[in-house]
């Protein structure tokens, strides 16, 4: 696929998202023109003017366009998002940390958000390699990598494949490692039928499936919860930005990938945050299990918190992230 076609595709999906958000047509045109120009521009790796960079893209070796945001100055924090979302899922943490003296970077995984939607390469190794391309292109050093859900697997696989020469610390939030599906090596995992159900939902009516998924994702089915229609709409809008083939392929990656050996290579200080009431990635076979494998892990359990805790418990997570970064 040519870069011109990819950029037209990105521009088209950006227009859809802006429209869904209800932005006036005239204002949207100006925003889209500015964003497209920024995305098409070459990536600057110099320190000067870095604080002005808000939207950029890189191209991987197979021609996939990876969109990312890069805000602020200071020590670097790199975010990896969950399925089927995009880098904007971290906006609460990025806004907070950039306002507190950190440079924050979040990319849209291939097939997700405003990145290209390639037919192939939708696997965890390639996700990690795309992230390596981003970090190498920006020449990031001493970074703290933060991953939520599938993004936590991406962080672990990055370190497993590319080492920790650019990484000072890591944070796994509601993350999928070491492995989600039940197997001989993971007898307490979830049955394959759970993930087959997700695949069926995506193929049958993914728009409705994403809307329904927001209920357990954010714990809105629990007594005393206060569902936010805005949060649910945002999840749906981001999910619909993900290509259906990319979304479908990614299910196998977050459910079946065994990250055990990757976790063993994480020798840097690592914070593991997990909600005790995570209905998507159960804590016993994920957060608690990962904490037993990672050498320098600290596990913090948010009592009663759901999978989408970066949103529902953003103030607590922001404070814990800042404390960990400063430690």
| pLDDT of the chain, 327 residues: tens digit per residue | 444 445 555 555 554 444 444 433 333 333 333 333 333 443 444 343 344 445 699 999 999 999 999 999 999 999 999 999 999 999 999 999 999 999 999 999 999 999 999 999 999 999 999 999 999 999 999 999 999 999 999 999 999 999 999 999 999 999 999 999 999 889 999 999 999 999 999 999 999 999 999 999 999 999 999 999 999 999 999 999 999 999 999 999 999 999 999 999 999 999 999 999 999 999 999 999 999 999 999 999 999 999 999 999 999 999 999 999 999
- How far is the C-alpha of 162 from the C-alpha of 157, rounded, in Å? 8
88 catalytic? Reply is no
Instruction: Map residue 255 onto helix, strand or coil.
Output: helix
67 catalytic? Reply is no
Sign of the CA dihedral 313, 318, 320, 324? positive
* Residue in the structure block whose two tokens are 């037993």: 292
pTM of the prediction?
A: 0.85
Which segments of 218-297 does DSSP mark as H helices, in order? 229-241, 244-256, 260-264, 287-293
Catalytic residue among 67, 107, 274, 307: 307
Tokens in use for 33?
């023109």
116 catalytic? Reply is no
- How far is the C-alpha of 142 from the C-alpha of 30, rounded, in Å? 37
Catalytic residue among 88, 108, 129, 278: 278
Closest CA to 102 of 36, 154, 146, 133: 146
Catalytic residue among 35, 149, 255, 286: 149
């Amino acid at each position: 696929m040519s870069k011109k076609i990819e950029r037209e595709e990105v521009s088209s999906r950006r227009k859809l998202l802006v429209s869904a958000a209800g932005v006036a047509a005239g204002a949207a045109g100006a925003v889209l023109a500015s964003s497209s120009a920024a995305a098409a521009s070459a990536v600057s790796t110099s320190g000067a003017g870095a604080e002005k960079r808000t939207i950029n893209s890189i191209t991987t070796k197979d021609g996939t366009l990876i969109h990312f945001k890069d805000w602020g100055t200071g020590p670097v924090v790199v975010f990896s998002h969950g399925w089927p979302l995009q880098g904007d899922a971290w906006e609460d943490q990025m806004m907070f940390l950039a306002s507190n003296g950190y440079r924050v970077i979040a990319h849209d995984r291939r097939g997700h958000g405003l990145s290209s939607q390639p037919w192939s390469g939708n696997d965890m190794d390639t996700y990690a390699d795309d992230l390596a391309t981003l970090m190498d292109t920006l020449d990031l050093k001493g970074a703290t990598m933060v991953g939520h859900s599938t993004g936590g697997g991406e962080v672990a696989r990055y370190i497993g494949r590319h080492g920790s020469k650019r990484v000072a610390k890591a944070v796994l939030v509601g993350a999928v490692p070491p492995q989600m599906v039940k197997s001989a090596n993971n007898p307490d995992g979830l049955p394959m039928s759970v993930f087959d159900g997700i695949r069926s939902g995506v193929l049958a009516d993914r728009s409705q499936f994403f809307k329904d998924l927001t209920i357990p994702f954010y714990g809105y089915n629990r007594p005393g919860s206060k569902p936010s229609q805005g949060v649910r709409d945002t999840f749906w809008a981001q999910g619909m930005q993900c290509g259906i083939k990319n979304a479908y392929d990614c299910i196998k990656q977050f459910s079946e990938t065994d990250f055990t050996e990757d976790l063993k290579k994480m020798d840097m200080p690592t914070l593991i945050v997990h909600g005790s009431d995570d209905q998507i990635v159960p804590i016993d076979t994920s957060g608690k299990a990962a904490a037993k494998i990672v050498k320098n892990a600290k596990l913090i359990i948010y009592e009663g918190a759901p999978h989408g805790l970066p949103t529902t418990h953003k103030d607590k997570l922001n404070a814990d992230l800042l404390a960990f970064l400063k430690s």
